[in-house]
């Protein structure tokens, strides 16, 4: 399992690299807001469409090679993005990275679930790896591009190359991993109705969390007058969110997954609304509470989806993991347009409706046997 956690961190590092790359593209190539938003859409839209398709393919036949190849392609796309002269080529390079991310997730989640068995904490660690990798993306990108400009993007592919080679080699040598990658589930019936309700839960969470990630620093900076406070709010959001991912696995072992999901999103409604309403530095406790509430169910979405579709683990993983980032990334520009029209406070208040939708859908979920 540690190998899968590390691989997930490296792969999702390249998702986190995209928003960090955009300011450099704007500065050096003078992209406008629409062009900058288009770069984000390139990384998320293709991934959201293709990821479930990769899940369908891996359900028909295990493809463990997609794990190292997917993360390598994700890194290659980011590495090429700074070398392209035209916007169209840059967009295609970012889309290539999104394709690699899409190829990686379904098969890696299937393998991780086989290694974790029925333990919720094991999948929480796997999900935590992705969250940590996403947060590390800007930390890697900023110093490299500050030192070498966009021409230095090829250096960003190195983590993917190293991790891809190591994982491919270890897959061949470790017998328990070979058993996990070859195993195909044939256990019970697929419950598409329950999976449909779960998908609504995931979509509501995705839009709320991604939009909060996008606009929180700007909002806190406006409320406090401190850019440092805005950045600190993001640190709190991601740091406490990482703890929440692990906490979700622990709570699921005591309360059950569906109850944990319902309670978490019930708490998220006032927490997200409070971020928009509480003045000054008093927003920080609510940021921490919102992070716990939005991230605790993160890994539980994956295991619930896999248990609702026990014969289609790849498809379930492609939807629950793919929609987590992709749908939120596609809808975030619409939230920005709402903020331009009525103000950022009202746009953030509107986000509180989304975990309420997740709560309503989660009430229809039952604990898989």
Domains with residue ranges and CATH for the chain:
2-182 (1.20.1250.20), 192-362 (1.20.1250.20)
SS3 of the chain: CHHHHHHHHHHHHHHHHHHHHHHHHHHHHCCCHHHHHHHHHHHHHHHHHHHHHHHHHHHHCCCCCHHHHHHHHHHHHHHHHCCCCCHHHHHHHHHHHHHHHHHHHHHHHHHHHHHHCCCHHHHHHHHHHHHHHHHHHHHHHHHHHHHHHHHHHHHHHHHHHHHHHHHHHHHHHCHHHHHHHHCCCCCCCCCHHHHHHHHHHHHHHHHHHHHHHHHHHHHHHHHHCCHHHHHHHHHHHHHHHHHHHHHHHHHHHHHCHHHHHHHHHHHHHHHHHHHHHCCHHHHHHHHHHHHHHHHCCHHHHHHHHHHHCCCCHHHHHHHHHHHHHHHHHHHHHHHHHHHHHHCHHHHHHHHCHHHHHHHHHHCCCCCCC
> Which pLDDT value is given to residue 34?
67
Burial class (CB in 10 A: 0-12, 13-18, 19+), 202: buried
> Which pLDDT value is given to residue 296?
92
Cα–Cα distance, 39 to 330 (Å, whole number): 11
Which tokens hold the place of 142?
A: 């900023």
* pLDDT tens string 288-325: 999 999 999 988 998 898 889 888 887 888 788 776 66
With 0.95 as the threshold, say if the pTM is over it: no
> Which pLDDT value is given to residue 112?
79
Which of 43, 368, 67, 365 is closest to 202 using CA atoms?
Answer: 365
Non-local (6+) Cβ contacts of 1 within 8 A are 112, 115, 116, 122, 125, 126
Which tokens hold the place of 8?
A: 């997930």
Per residue of the chain (369 residues), what is the pLDDT tens digit?
777 888 888 988 898 788 778 778 877 888 776 677 678 778 877 777 787 788 778 778 878 888 899 999 999 999 999 888 889 999 999 999 989 988 888 888 778 777 766 666 677 787 778 778 877 887 888 888 888 888 899 999 999 999 989 888 877 776 555 555 555 555 578 899 999 999 999 999 989 988 888 788 888 888 888 878 887 887 788 888 888 888 888 898 888 999 999 999 999 999 999 999 998 899 999 999 999 999 999 889 988 988 898 888 878 887 887 766 677 777 877 888 888 888 889 989 999 999 999 999 999 999 887
Decide: 264 and 201 in contact? Cβ < 8 Å.
no
> Which pLDDT value is given to residue 94?
92
> Which pLDDT value is given to residue 180?
52
> Which pLDDT value is given to residue 8?
87
């Amino acid at each position: 399992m540690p190998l899968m956690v590390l691989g997930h961190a490296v792969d999702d590092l390249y998702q986190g690299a995209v928003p960090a790359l955009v300011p450099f593209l704007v500065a050096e190539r003078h992209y406008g807001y629409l062009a900058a938003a288009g770069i984000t859409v390139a990384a998320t839209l293709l991934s959201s469409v293709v990821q479930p398709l990769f899940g369908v393919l891996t359900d028909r036949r295990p493809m463990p090679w997609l794990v190292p190849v997917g993360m390598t392609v994700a890194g290659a796309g980011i590495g090429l993005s700074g070398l392209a002269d035209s916007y169209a080529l840059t967009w295609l390079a970012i889309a290539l990275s999104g394709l690699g991310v899409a190829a990686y997730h379904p098969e890696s989640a299937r393998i991780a679930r086989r290694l974790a068995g029925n333990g919720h904490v094991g999948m929480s660690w796997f999900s935590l790896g992705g969250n940590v990798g996403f947060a590390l993306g800007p930390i890697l990108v900023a110093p490299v591009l500050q030192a070498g400009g966009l021409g230095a993007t090829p250096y960003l592919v190195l983590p993917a190359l190293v991790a891809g080679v190591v994982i491919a080699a270890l897959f061949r040598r470790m017998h328990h991993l070979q058993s996990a990658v070859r195993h195909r589930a044939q256990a019970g019936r697929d419950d598409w109705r329950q999976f449909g309700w779960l998908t609504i839960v995931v979509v509501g969470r995705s839009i709320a969390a991604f939009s909060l990630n996008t606009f929180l620093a700007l909002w806190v900076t406006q409320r406090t007058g401190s850019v440092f406070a805005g950045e600190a709010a993001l640190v709190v959001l991601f740091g406490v969110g990482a703890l929440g991912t692990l906490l979700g696995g622990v709570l699921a072992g005591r309360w059950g997954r569906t109850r944990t999901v319902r309670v978490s999103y019930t708490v998220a409604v006032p927490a997200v609304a409070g971020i928009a309403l509480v003045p000054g530095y008093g927003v920080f406790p609510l940021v921490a509470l919102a992070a716990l509430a939005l991230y605790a169910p993160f890994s539980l979405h994956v295991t619930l989806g896999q248990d609702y579709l026990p014969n289609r683990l790849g498809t379930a993983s492609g939807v629950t993991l793919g929609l987590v980032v992709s749908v939120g990334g596609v809808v975030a520009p619409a939230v920005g347009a709402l903020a331009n029209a009525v103000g950022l406070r009202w746009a953030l208040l509107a986000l509180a409706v989304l975990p309420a939708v997740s709560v309503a859908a989660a009430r229809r979920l039952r604990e898989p046997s």
